[in-house]
Structure 1
Amino acid sequence: MRVVYRMIAVATGVVVLGAGVTVVLLNRGDSATTTAAPRNSADVAVPSVVSASSASGAAAPAAGAVATPGLSPLSSAPPSPPPSTGTSATPSAAAVASPAADADAVDPALAAALKDPRVPALPKDVRRLRSLPGRAAATHSLIKDRRSGVALPRFAKAWALAKPAPFASRQLLPMAKGASYRGMLVSCPVPIPEQKTLRDTAFLAARWTLNHHPSGATITWTASQPIKAGKRKGWLLGYTVHYSLKGRKRVSAAALALVDTPETKPAVVFVTIPDSQKKRWHDINKVMSSIKAL
């Protein structure tokens, strides 16, 4: 019986021991499963995070590429400044105040003349000097005005040489009976600021000639045309000067030629003849057709 009991006890121990081993093995398997699950979970999560990061990184540079040309869509480095194209707002604003822009501004003297009610704007089209009434006086020779760089007719009888100052040359008609104003033919270097074109300079010079007409005189244009004085270019203006003397309205026929001389300021040849001496008006045509550059 003792043997039987011992065998039963051994068997029971074996069973208990096997159960313990089984529990241990089962516990190990559960532990391995538990450990593996987080690893597998991490393995799944890491690619998803990387994908999200990649997607985010691609989206941000793409937006930056619009605002900053040349930025690589996948670059994590700070964007380099875009190359200068020369079309920014700053240079264009600076160009407005640049010397080149200022150079295109209207000269103050010309701007003042354009606002002068005594002198209307020149006609836009070319108008030729018409033939004025009368018969041209005889000429003796040419007056060579070397100070101004031009030659002009020297009339023989009707006109008399006079002291040139403040001009370079001067000829005068005799004073008509009862008149306080007479014909005058003068030449000189242009006494006003030279403009960008001969036409504009002639316009200013014609306004200046009002200083040699009765007070309150105004101008209407009769001619505006380019001319040649020998080989030199020039511009001719014909005009009627309106004024009042002793309460009576009077006019003078006048013309001015501006000649582009080679080494000096442009030369002005100016002639004006009042209506009291209108038989000499055709002398204006003679003068304007005879001017030569020296």
Structure 2
Amino acid sequence: MGSDVVSPRRPNPPKRSLIGDLPMRVIYRGLAVVAALGAVVVWALPSGPGEDAARPVAAPSAVPSSSGPAPVTPSPEVSPAFVAPTPTPTPTPSPTAAPSIAPGYTAMEALYADPRVPKLPARLRAKAVRGYRPAIKDRFSGLAVPRLPKPWRTYGSGPYATRQIIKGTRALFVTAPVPIKVQREHRDTALLAARWTLSRHPKGARLTWIDSRPIRDGWMLVYQVRYGKRSALAAVVVAKGGASKPGLAFISVPDTRKRQWGQVARVAAGVRALG
């Protein structure tokens, strides 16, 4: 009785790697190419914020891929270190005197361009008056000025060096260092001071000259200020009295107190420079 002998199945031979079929020199060359490409990619990528703006980036391939549209080169990012800070606008202070003129104008050019202030005649003299005797010495402005009788009374100086008022009215008589740029000529400084006083009158005020004359170490101006249907009589005296800046004496009396208008010219004539 014969028996069938089953021969054992021989295992399939192992599949050989494709790499194994390649010569070693080809493998080494391929590894070298891969390493070089990896170095280029790593070098192109930023390693931290703010470093990509100054680092070269590998140029994209000029041949488009067959599986999609050509790659788009991304716009280089701007490093935060190179972004200019947004400037903070400087607040512009509100003017307290005459409207501003274009930059580059001198103070006198601004004065002559102001329609509220007419040109001062070369010769303008009112009737001379006898001034009050000075009784208050204001060393802050360098001036000696009259102390006015009732209904005037002294009041807290506020922004001025001295102040006298008639209570319940716009009448005032004050002294202070000149609040405007000092000019070479006393007359020009007085003109600028008169223009400045318009800010102490109601809006729309314009002036008309009445008297203009030199005094010792200074200049005196008397003028009428009109605003709407009302008016005031005013005067400024600018004089150099030993302080760091010339002093200013300013008096203004509204038409509601016309009986005090006769005092305006006398007060201006009574102002003296100290020293």
Normalising by the smaller structure, the TM-score range is 0.5 to 0.7
Runs of 4+ in 1 over 4 A off after TM superposition: 129-132
Matched residue type, 1:284: V
Distance 1:125 1:171 in 2: 31
Q: Residue type of the partner of 2:220?
A: L
In structure 1, C-alpha distance between the alignment counterparts of 2:200 and 2:152, rounded to whole Å: 18
Question: Any conservation in 2 of the 1:149–1:293 contact (CA below 8 Å)?
Answer: yes
Find 1:159's aligned residue among 130, 137, 152: 152
Change (3 A) 1:260 1:227: same
Give the match for residue 125 of structure 1. 123
1:161-210 Cα deviation digits (max 9, x unpaired): 111121111000122xxxxx521100011000001100000000000000
Instruction: Report the AA paired with residue 282 of structure 1.
Output: G
| Larger Rg belongs to | 1
How many residues are paired up?
171
Partner AA of 2:248 in structure 1 = V
Q: Given the alignment, which residue of 155, 172, 177 partners 1:184?
A: 172
Range 203-212 or range 156-165, more displaced: 156-165
| 1:128 shift after superposition | 3.4
Structure 2 partner of 1:269:
249
Question: What's the TM-score once normalised by structure 2's chain length?
Answer: 0.58
Asked if 1:221 is matched to 2:209, the reply is yes
Q: Which moved more, 1:194-203 or 1:254-263?
A: 254-263
Q: Is the 8 A contact 1:129 1:224 kept in 2?
A: no
Aligned mate of 1:285, from 260, 265, 272: 265
Deviation at 1:286, TM superposition (A): 2.5
Contact kept in structure 1, 2:141 and 2:243, CA below 8 Å: no
Task: Please state how far the C-alpha of 1:129 moved relative to its aligned partner.
Answer: 5.4
Structure 2, unaligned runs of 5 or more: 1-103
**Gaps in structure 1 of 5+ consecutive residues:** 1-105, 176-180
1:203 aligned residue: 191
Residue number among 156, 166, 179 corresponding to 1:173 in the alignment: 166
* Structure 1 length-normalised TM: 0.54
* RMSD over equivalenced CA pairs, Å: 2.2
| Partner SS for 1:155 | coil
Q: How far off is 1:212 after superposition?
A: 0.6
TM-aligned CA deviation for residue 227 of structure 1: 1.3
Equivalent pair of 2:221/2:236 in contact (CA under 8 Å) = yes
Q: In structure 1, how many angstroms separate the alpha carbons of the residues matched to 2:149 and 2:126?
A: 27
Q: Which residue of 2 aligns with 1:109?
A: 107
SS of structure 1 residue aligned to 2:214: strand
Secondary structure, aligned partner of 2:147: strand
1:126 Cα deviation (Å)?
A: 3.8
Q: Which residue, out of 247, 250, 256, partners 2:236?
A: 256
The structure whose residues are more often helix, as a share, is: 1
Query: 1:182 and 1:277, CA in 2 relative to 1: closer, same or farther beyond 3 A?
Result: same
* Match in the other structure for 1:241: 225
Letter in 2 for 1:213: H
